[in-house]
């Protein structure tokens, strides 16, 4: 019975990502809400890169694996995967990704504010940039090429924005594949209107704190209402919510489609 032996085969382990991410916190709740913690299941902390490496290795050997996955992500482009159903709705429905700026950005850098405020794209567009990066293209180059190939999109974001000189925007992000793509594309659009842009990667909590204290100007990484909800709740009065930059994001447990008998989180029990 492949279902009964699954726990054993994967060592009762869900392959996770960085400890600070919202999805890891949600997955700890999943272990409790589905009683998996009492059945030896554990969530392994690692990193996006280590998780995707383990996923690729398992798929190559057609072995079972359960990971904390999300969409948009190149893993769904490259491999045949499925989200496990979540009947207790711990992860929540589809989310929107928001751009968050420091208080005062609009006054101090109106050109940057306008571009970041307009920055908006689709899961398909984000996936294309993520796939390029996964294929080995440097993120800044992938972003620049993508913008060059989508002039209408760039025009929407920069239309009427005056060119600036000698001004810098500091962006921060967490090195999740999706956010590597979005922050590099937003940075490329800002560079197009003349800004020098620095991109600094951090853990999730310091990223929010950097924008809240004004140490950073902006970030494109807020998954709402659930995955980044705790930080948004804590910092909402100290930051500017610049609205949605992508609609229809999703987090959850992800397995290869060849795991035919595993379709719901309840199937892990
Ligand atoms: N993620 C990607 C993040 C948000 C973006 C799903 C890994 C998380 O906080 O879990």
Ligand 1, atom nearest to 70 Cα? 6
CB of residue 251 inside a 6 A radius of ligand 1: yes
What residue owns the CA closest to ligand 1's atom 2? Answer: 176
Q: Which residues of the chain are under the pLDDT cut of 50?
A: none
Confidence at residue 64, expressed as pLDDT on a 0 to 100 scale: 97
Ligand 1, atom nearest to 251 Cα? 6
20 CB burial (10 A radius; 0-12, 13-18, 19+): middle
Confidence at residue 233, expressed as pLDDT on a 0 to 100 scale: 98
- According to DSSP, residue 34 is labeled T
- According to DSSP, residue 167 is labeled -
Confidence at residue 269, expressed as pLDDT on a 0 to 100 scale: 87
CB of residue 178 inside a 6 A radius of ligand 1: yes
Contact criterion met (CB below 8 Å) for 242 and 101: yes
Characterize 193-226 residue by residue with b for buried, 16 or more Cβ atoms within 10 angstroms of its Cβ, and e for exposed: bebebebeebebebbbbbbbeeebbbbbbbbbeb
State the alpha helices, DSSP H only, in the chain.
2-9, 22-33, 48-60, 74-78, 105-108, 110-118, 123-134, 139-149, 151-158, 177-192, 204-213, 229-235
Confidence at residue 9, expressed as pLDDT on a 0 to 100 scale: 93
pTM higher than 0.90:
yes
Best substitution site from 75, 127, 223, 230 to test ligand 1's pocket, by max atoms within 8 Å of Cβ? 223
ipTM: 0.97
Structural domains for the chain? 2-93+251-268 (3.40.190.100), 95-249 (3.10.105.10)
* Residue whose tokens read 């995707």: 52
Q: Is 251 helix (H, G, I), strand (E, B) or coil?
A: strand
- Does residue 252 come out as left (phi exceeding 0), alpha (psi in the -120 to 50 range) or beta? left
Q: How far is the CA of 186 from the centre of ligand 1 (A)?
A: 18
Q: Tell me phi and psi for residue 201, to 5 degrees.
A: -90, 140
């Amino acid at each position: 019975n492949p279902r009964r032996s699954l726990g054993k085969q994967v060592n009762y382990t869900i392959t996770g990502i960085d400890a600070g991410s919202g999805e890891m916190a949600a997955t700890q709740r999943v272990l409790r809400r589905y009683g998996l913690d009492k059945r030896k299941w554990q969530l392994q902390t690692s990193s996006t890169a280590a998780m995707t490496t383990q996923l690729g290795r398992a798929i190559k050997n057609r072995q079972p694996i359960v990971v904390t996955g999300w969409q948009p992500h190149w893993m769904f482009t490259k491999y045949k995967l499925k989200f496990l159903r979540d009947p207790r709705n711990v992860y929540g429905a589809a989310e929107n990704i928001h751009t968050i700026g420091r208080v005062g950005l609009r006054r101090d850098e109106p050109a940057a504010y306008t571009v970041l405020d307009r920055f908006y794209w689709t899961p398909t567009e984000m996936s294309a940039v993520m796939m390029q990066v996964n294929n080995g293209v440097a993120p800044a180059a992938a972003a620049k090429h993508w913008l060059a190939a989508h002039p209408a999109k760039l025009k929407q974001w920069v239309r009427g924005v005056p060119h600036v000189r000698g001004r810098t925007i500091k962006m921060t992000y967490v090195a999740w594949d999706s956010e590597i793509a979005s922050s590099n594309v937003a940075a490329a659009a800002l560079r197009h209107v003349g800004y020098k842009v620095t991109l600094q990667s951090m853990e999730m909590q310091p990223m929010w704190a950097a924008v809240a204290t004004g140490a950073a100007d902006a970030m494109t990484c807020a998954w709402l209402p659930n995955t980044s909800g705790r930080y948004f709740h804590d910092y909402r009065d100290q930051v500017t919510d610049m609205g949605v930059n992508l609609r229809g994001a999703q987090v959850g447990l992800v397995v290869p489609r060849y795991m035919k008998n595993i379709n719901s989180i309840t199937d892990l029990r």
